[in-house]
Amino acid sequence: QVQLVESGGGSVQAGGSLRLSCAVSGYSTETYCLAWFRQPPGKRREAVGTFNTADRRASYDVTAKGRFTVSTDNGNNTLYLQINRLQPEDTAVYFCAARSPGYTACWAPPSRYTYWGQGTQVTVSS
């Protein structure tokens, strides 16, 4: 069973940067889809970016592209989310997630992701 543990959140000023990490364990070689989601206060959980471990390609929400970068280490044991030029509207709890083994459609709603971390808070002040 895949286990995910996020770290790296915190409070930052607008314009700053953060790199979130997600330690992935229990990883199956057929676990192709890893992702970062976020949930702003009072809003629904939304995808920020996904990573396909088979072709090592990342996909992004249109609002995230350019400021957010999703990547992994070579062994796919750690998933990263680099966020640059942080804005107050980036304030949210950030979650990493994994789909069940065998699925390759990584850009998918939260309901399609089976495994979740506990989340890490990112707060951006203006």
| pLDDT single digits (tens) 55-81 | 999 999 877 778 999 999 988 899 999
**Considering only CA atoms, which of 64, 53, 51, 56 is closest in space to residue 108?**
51
CA 87 to centroid of chain Cα atoms: 17
In this prediction, residue 87 carries a pLDDT of: 96
d(CA 100, CA 17): 31
Provide the percentage of residues in the chain whose pLDDT is more than 70. 99
> Mean pLDDT, 10 residues at a time, over the chain (126 residues)?
95 97 90 96 96 93 86 92 96 97 93 97 97
- Please state, rounded to an integer, the average pLDDT across all residues of the chain: 94
In this prediction, residue 11 carries a pLDDT of: 97
